[in-house]
Amino acid sequence: MHIELGSGFNFGWIIIAIAVIMAGGIYISYRKNYPIKIKYIIAVIIMLIVGVKFILEK
């Protein structure tokens, strides 16, 4: 059984879009002086790296 979720190129752009939305939320939290957890910042960085990797592979 083979399940096709779309090309890696499209999947990379989806990951980058989610990471940018998360980065915007982190920025808004920072501006409102809410505490920001390091794990969220690390997650955004990893998502951006993985998204770029998917785009460059295809």
pLDDT exceeds cutoff 70 at 6: no
Q: Which residue has the higher pLDDT, 4 or 49?
A: 49
DSSP state of 27: H
Spatial separation of the C-alpha atoms in residues 5 and 14, rounded to whole Å:
12
> Predicted confidence band at 13 (pLDDT cuts at 50, 70, 90)?
confident
Residue 30: Cβ within 10 Å count: 12
Angle at CA 36, nearest 5°, toward 33 and 39? 170
> Predicted confidence band at 56 (pLDDT cuts at 50, 70, 90)?
confident
pLDDT digits (tens, 9 = 90+) for 16-26: 999 999 999 99
Q: Which helix (H) or strand (E) holds 39?
A: helix 38-57
Amino acid at 47: M
Q: What is the mean pLDDT of the chain?
A: 86
pTM of the model: 0.77
Spatial separation of the C-alpha atoms in residues 15 and 20, rounded to whole Å:
9
